[in-house]
Amino acid sequence: MPAFFSTAPASLATPILFATKSTWESVAASLPALAREFAATNAFKAKPGECLTLPGEDGKLGFVLFGLEDDATKADPFRAGQLPAKLPKGTYRFANAPHDARLATLAFALGSYRFGRYKKAEPYEVSLVPPEGINASELTRMAEAAALARDLINTPPNDMGPDELADAAKALADEFGAAFRCVSGEELAREFPLIHAVGMASTRAPRLIDFTWGDAAHPKITLVGKGVCFDTGGLDLKPSSAMLIMKKDMGGAANVLALARMVMDAKLKVRLRVLIPAVENSVAGNAFRPLDVFRSRKGLTVEIGNTDAEGRLVLADALTLACEDKPDLLIDMGTLTGAARVALGPDLPPFYTNDDALAADVARHARQENDPLWRLPLWQPYDAWLDSKVADINNAPSGGFAGSITCALFMQRFVDAETRWLHADIYGWTPSAKPARPEGGECQGARAFYKLLSERYG
């Protein structure tokens, strides 16, 4: 893990000057003559993301110019995340203020990420002296958590099956002294029948990961993450094009582990529990079938409308277990529906809750952290769409409408009415690179949820 931030004196760091098209003239006037002439010769225009290194009086690197959007309300707060890939080796500082200094500093750290497990990717040898008043420890915590989520999602399923996901969770639990256990085999089949049903066709056994941390006297916060390490769709087989990034289908688990890392590292005053149903949805002679009926841990019978709607099944048993512990707040995250992406695209995950105050807090932190989330309704008239003629509930109603909402309503059936519950239908993936967000696995929602928990339980 690279060191994102430097404790060197600011006077020894190379200054980065931010400019927009409208401020470039005044910024240029502040430069020494040699640097100003160099910028003019290179036709620097302060376009967003444009970067130019300038010589100092001794001919060595003296300044960096970096372009930003003119309109702060339409600017990408993470634009500075492009800097690590553009800068030569060294230590830098912000010489003037970007639109949001804290988010720009975080973006610098997030933009330092590289995934090099299978192809050599040298780390960017750059660091930033944080602006005065910026909590570098907090931003490091967020960047390290994001790197954990990205690494887990980017790892292909041959190296990130249920067992390896459990190993990663145990390593995190051990790092912070959490109590860890894993339920598998006959106990899983008996106690968590939906998790077992989804994973039983794989040669890699399904399991439920369960760890707890913190003072038992503190408020109980339970995190549940979808850990489908690869999703073929089961017997309702996905087309090959839809399988290409299904290594990301454990993105809920990866983001929950990232969130747990931040909570434990910050020593929030909570009793934390993390539950991850880890499975592979495979095709074999013993695979679960459309129209099969299973009795869930909660006792509700579930008819299988579609084997490719498996994430809500494994989460249902985990949510039931979570509610048995009577948590103060229950948060689940999963890469659940294509319908969420059709509605809101890959960058804006929907979230659901019946607690209006909680929803307002989530939305506020999502805006402040540039970690977008958008509330969708638990629209009760659609609940009847989940009806089954032979069981208590069907996991995938026909019709194709409101798929993310009906998924949330399905999961709500397994959450006790008195439990404060927050559900996020994330994508967990950046389809094409953006500032501070490289193409590949992504940490979505976890920073916003962490700030929510920090505010309430810090």
What is the pLDDT, as a whole number, of residue 100? 97
- Average pLDDT of the chain, as a whole number: 97
**pLDDT (tens digit per residue) in 12-39:** 999 999 999 999 999 999 999 999 999 9
What is the pLDDT, as a whole number, of residue 170? 98
Task: From the candidates 226, 271, 297, 312, give the one annotated as an active-site residue.
Answer: 312
CATH 3.40.630.10 location in the chain: 142-457
What is the pLDDT, as a whole number, of residue 49? 98
Instruction: Please indicate whether residue 141 is annotated as part of the active site.
Output: no
Superfamily of domain 10-134: Leucine Aminopeptidase, subunit E, domain 1 (3.40.220.10)
Given a cut of 60, whether residue 77 has pLDDT beyond it is yes
Percentage with pLDDT > 90 across the chain: 97
pLDDT class of 58 with cuts at 50, 70, 90: confident
What is the average per-residue pLDDT within 35-51? 96
CATH 3.40.220.10 location in the chain: 10-134
Residue with tokens 């579930």: 302
What is the average per-residue pLDDT within 326-337? 98
What is the pLDDT, as a whole number, of residue 429? 98
Instruction: Please indicate whether residue 312 is annotated as part of the active site.
Output: yes
Reported pTM: 0.97
What is the pLDDT, as a whole number, of residue 1? 52
What is the average per-residue pLDDT within 170-174? 98
**pLDDT (tens digit per residue) in 387-409:** 999 999 999 988 889 999 999 99
What is the average per-residue pLDDT within 286-291? 98
What is the pLDDT, as a whole number, of residue 184? 98
Given a cut of 80, whether residue 101 has pLDDT beyond it is yes
What is the average per-residue pLDDT within 56-60? 86
Given a cut of 90, whether residue 172 has pLDDT beyond it is yes
Which CATH number is 142-457 given?
3.40.630.10
What is the pLDDT, as a whole number, of residue 2? 62
Task: From the candidates 47, 86, 238, 269, give the one annotated as an active-site residue.
Answer: 238
What is the pLDDT, as a whole number, of residue 21? 97
